[in-house]
Amino acid sequence: MSILEKLNKAIMEKDGAAAGELVHDDYKMFSHLKGEYVHMGKTGMIEAINKGFMKVDKYRILYENDEIGFDHSIVTYAEDGNKEALMCYWKFKDGKIIELETGATKIPK
């Protein structure tokens, strides 16, 4: 199973511990909304997954190798019910996720 397959499984199962095994200690996220890196970090990502921060539908991996991955899905955020078509660029280091950059298109409710 690939890194992104394992991550999606952890998100679907709200398994932050499993996700933590996939995320590098130096993980950072670039916010598409803010246009800058945000201070989510590894701990923040694990907490968000444990809390079920989003429901993922129509998940598909577009490309993945040992260095990078691209995926696309339709997500619904638990906090406010907003929906987005979400494209993610993942960067890997030492077999773990070190960086995430997203691009999203809002979907009307």
Both tokens of residue 40? 């989510």
**pLDDT tens for residues 9-58?**
999 999 999 999 999 999 999 987 778 888 789 999 999 999 999 999 99
Domain housing 96: 3-107
Residue type, 46: I
Q: Kindly report the three-state secondary structure assignment for every residue of the chain.
A: CCHHHHHHHHHHCCCHHHHHCCEEEEEEEEECCCCEEECCHHHHHHHHHHCCCEEEEEEEEEEECCCEEEEEEEEEECCCCCEEEEEEEEEEECCEEEEEEEEEEEECC
Does position 7 have pLDDT exceeding 90, yes or no?
yes
**pLDDT tens for residues 66-103?**
999 999 999 999 989 999 999 999 999 999 999 999 98
Domain count for the chain, please give it.
1
Predicted model pTM: 0.91
Per-residue model confidence (pLDDT) at position 66: 97
Distance CA 96, CA 51 (A): 22
Per-residue model confidence (pLDDT) at position 35: 85
